[in-house]
């Protein structure tokens, strides 16, 4: 067994029952583009509830990250805040279901569930701000600080017309 396992044998037999949990997720193999490091531990807190035999797991994943903007390459701090809701079952009809996890030997691997949630829900591109203008592709100036002064490339669709005008 690996990860953080939660024993659910008692909860399975207790309709209306609840089981809370809390742990710290190891960021070693959470290598997301743009995340330079985690400034605080990745904390996971949650609750599993038995709703008439259906086990619902709700959790929150929280941390502070130091990131690099995908457009301007500046470093910035960003909170990691993800709410997770999945269901736990003793048997699965669809083995590829993302919303259901199999209870094995009366327990589940919470670390696996939280890692999956992070992988499936992590932002593909981290930006320092929504309207980041990025860097000039010619001179590399940060366009958030103002225009760079580079001449704009002409639209390639008009190049042939420009060549005709130059001949006259």
Q: Is residue 70 domain-shared with residue 15, that is, in the same domain?
A: yes
Q: Is residue 39 domain-shared with residue 51, that is, in the same domain?
A: yes
pLDDT for 119-163, tens place per residue?
999 999 999 999 999 999 989 999 999 998 888 777 788 777 777
Q: Is residue 102 domain-shared with residue 25, that is, in the same domain?
A: yes
pLDDT for 23-57, tens place per residue?
999 988 888 999 999 999 999 999 999 998 889 99
Q: Is residue 123 domain-shared with residue 157, that is, in the same domain?
A: no
Which structural domain, as residue segments, surrounds residue 164? 133-168
Average per-residue pLDDT for the chain:
89
Q: Is residue 139 domain-shared with residue 73, that is, in the same domain?
A: no
Q: Is residue 79 domain-shared with residue 141, that is, in the same domain?
A: no
CA-only gyration radius of the chain, Å: 25
Report the domain count for the chain: 2
Q: Is residue 32 domain-shared with residue 99, that is, in the same domain?
A: yes
For residues 80 and 162, give the distance between their C-alpha atoms in angstroms, rounded to a whole number: 51
């Amino acid at each position: 067994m690996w990860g953080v396992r939660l024993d659910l044998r008692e909860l399975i037999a207790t309709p209306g029952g609840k089981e809370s949990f809390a742990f710290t997720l190891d960021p070693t193999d959470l290598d997301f583009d743009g995340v330079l490091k985690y400034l605080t531990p990745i904390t996971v807190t949650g609750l599993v509830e038995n709703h008439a035999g259906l086990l619902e797991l709700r959790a929150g994943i929280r941390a502070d990250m130091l990131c690099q903007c995908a457009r301007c390459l500046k470093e910035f701090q960003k909170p990691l805040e993800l709410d997770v809701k999945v269901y736990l079952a003793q048997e699965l009809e669809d083995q590829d279901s993302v919303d259901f996890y199999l209870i094995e030997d009366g327990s589940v691997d919470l670390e696996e569930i939280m890692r999956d949630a992070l992988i499936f829900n992590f932002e593909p591109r981290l930006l320092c701000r929504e309207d980041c203008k990025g860097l000039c592709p010619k001179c590399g100036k940060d366009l958030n600080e103002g225009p760079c002064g580079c001449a704009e490339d002409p639209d390639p669709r008009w190049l042939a017309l420009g060549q005709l005008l130059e001949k006259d």
